[in-house]
């Protein structure tokens, strides 16, 4: 019986050594890697938000995790479990308190709007006599279309039916938030326990020199730190502005509601408007139309726009981007990716600047070097 050769013939070894076949192997491996990475990205995309939020929180709190791990004598799993419990209490309890407060205030506002006294007051607030002059320029314009009977009261009467119709969607949204929070906790546990090993493997697989790997890692952490700092300072600024506006308008408990606005400003698509809009409605149905208009203008022009000035200022030192590109990075990132776009937008711009710096300091310098 003929023995099966354990080594390739010399002709096959010589074939493998040829540059064109080595290049073909590298290309095939690269195409396979791109295909598998694309498939993995498509699989993980529906869960990308909780995964990225978990990575962001782990990056911000990894120093505390290390100290806990040292106290637990190197037991990463136990330290990670303690961190998850702490994050749950820090995030869930304030969220529940805010939700209860906002629901209570919404109920008070809606009861006032549904009362006969409030509806009679709204009827008296008629804009038609003040806009008759528009007919001089637009004869087809009907001032009665701006009357409270046609604009506000039908909407108010439809509120209970709207809540009844969309109650299931609200419950489904809450269930989705619970599932997303659970996935975020699982991601956090994995990143706490395996994060350092992942960074080592990424450094091994990276074709870049070590100093550039460290630069990208530092840039990632700086952008996350800057985003967190921007959120905190923006929340404080919007809370302070809301409290000042409420105090000027004479709303009771303006200091407390300003503090609540500082927290709600951290919630995407909610913001401080969850405080000053109900307060404006409350003043309007209470007969203080002048103060209501002031608070509406204050909220729209001061509270809402202060975000565009404070956030770039707070993030500028960490993200290392000029104020105007940073503003576009934040706003564009939120529009493209939602809440996590607060990090992705500045991160993409910062890493792009790093790549440009690498090219300028390495490849451009080599191109200028005279040939020997």
DSSP string across 5-69: PSS--HHHHHHHHSHHHHHHHHHHHHHHHHHHHHHHHHHHGGGHHHHHHHHHHHHHHHHHHHHHH
Of 147, 181, 205, the residue that ends a domain is: 205
| In a shared domain, residues 136 and 225 | no
SS3 56: helix
Q: Is residue 334 part of a domain?
A: yes
* Dist CA 104 CA 110 (whole Å): 10
Same domain, 245 and 197: no
Contact 342, 265 (CB under 8 A): no
For residue 70, the enclosing domain spans 47-205
Whether 290 is covered by a domain: the verdict is: yes
3-state DSSP call for residue 370?
coil
User: Does one domain contain both 349 and 220?
Assistant: yes
Residues 226 and 280 in one domain: yes
Look at residues 175, 205, 235 and tell me which one is the last residue of a structural domain: 205
In this structure, are 109 and 198 located in the same domain?
Answer: yes
Q: Are residues 152 and 293 in the same domain?
A: no
Last residue in a domain, options 205, 220, 253? 205
- For 351, half-sphere exposure in the C-beta direction (CA atoms, 13 angstrom radius) is 13
Q: Do 124 and 145 fall into the same domain?
A: yes
- Domain identity same for 347 and 329: yes
Of 240, 214, 231, give the one whose Cα is nearest residue 315: 231
Number of domains in the chain: 2
Q: Is residue 10 part of a domain?
A: no
What does the H/E/C string look like for 100-136?
HHHHHHHHHHHHHHHCHHHHHHHHHCCCHHHCHHHHH
26, part of any domain = no
- For residues 111 and 225, membership in a common domain is answered with no
My answer on whether 124 and 240 are in the same domain is: no
Q: What pTM, to 2 d.p., does this model score? A: 0.63
Q: Is residue 42 domain-resident?
A: no
264 with 146, same domain: the answer is no
- pLDDT tens over the chain, length 372 residues: 455 555 555 555 555 556 666 677 778 877 888 888 888 888 888 888 888 888 888 888 888 999 999 998 888 889 999 999 998 888 777 777 767 776 666 666 666 656 555 556 555 556 666 666 666 676 776 666 656 556 565 655 565 555 555 555 555 666 777 888 889 999 999 999 988 888 888 777 777 777 777 777 777 777 777 777 777 888 889 989 999 998 998 888 788 888 888 887 876 666 788 888 888 877 877 767 788 888 889 988 888 888 777 877 777 665 556 667 777 777 788 777 777 777 777 778 777 777 777 677 766 555 555 554
Helices 323-337 and 307-319, axial angle in degrees (round to 10): 100
Residue 289 tokens read as: 């139309």
In a domain, 75, yes or no: yes
Residue 107 lies in a domain: yes
Residue ranges with strand state E in 5-139: none
In a domain, 36, yes or no: no
């Amino acid at each position: 019986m003929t023995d099966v050769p354990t080594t390739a013939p010399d002709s096959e070894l010589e074939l493998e050594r040829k540059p064109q076949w080595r290049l073909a192997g590298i290309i095939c491996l690269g195409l396979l890697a791109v295909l598998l990475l694309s498939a993995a990205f498509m699989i993980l995309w529906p869960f990308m938000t909780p995964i990225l939020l978990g990575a962001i929180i782990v990056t911000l709190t990894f120093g505390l995790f290390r100290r806990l791990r040292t106290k637990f004598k190197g037991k990463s799993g136990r330290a990670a479990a303690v961190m998850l419990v702490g994050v749950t209490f820090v995030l869930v309890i304030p969220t529940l308190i805010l939700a209860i407060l906002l629901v209570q205030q919404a109920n008070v506002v809606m009861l006032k709007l549904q009362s006969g006294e409030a509806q009679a007051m709204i009827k008296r607030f008629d804009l038609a006599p003040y806009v008759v002059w528009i007919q001089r320029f637009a004869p087809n314009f009907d001032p009665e279309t701006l009357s409270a009977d046609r604009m506000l009261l039908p909407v108010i009467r439809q509120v209970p039916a709207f809540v009844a119709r969309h109650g299931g969607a609200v419950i489904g949204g809450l269930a989705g938030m619970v599932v997303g929070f659970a996935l975020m906790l699982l991601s956090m546990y994995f990143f706490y326990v395996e994060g350092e090993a992942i960074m080592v493997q990424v450094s091994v697989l990276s074709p870049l020199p070590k100093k550039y790997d460290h630069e990208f890692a530092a840039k990632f952490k700086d952008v996350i730190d800057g985003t967190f700092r921007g959120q905190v300072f923006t929340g404080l600024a919007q809370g302070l502005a809301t409290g000042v506006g409420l105090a000027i308008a004479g709303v009771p408990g303006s200091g407390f509601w300003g503090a609540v606005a500082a927290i709600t400003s951290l919630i995407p698509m909610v913001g401080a408007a969850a405080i000053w809009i109900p307060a404006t409605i409350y003043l309007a149905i209470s007969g203080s139309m002048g103060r209501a208009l002031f608070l509406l203008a204050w909220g729209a022009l001061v509270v809402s726009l202060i975000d565009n000035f404070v956030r770039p200022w707070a993030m500028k030192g960490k993200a290392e981007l000029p104020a105007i590109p940073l503003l576009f990075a934040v706003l564009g990132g939120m529009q493209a990716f939602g809440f996590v776009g607060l990090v992705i937008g500045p991160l993409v711009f910062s890493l792009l600047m790093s790549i440009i710096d690498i090219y300028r300091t390495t490849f451009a310098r080599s191109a200028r070097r005279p040939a020997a």
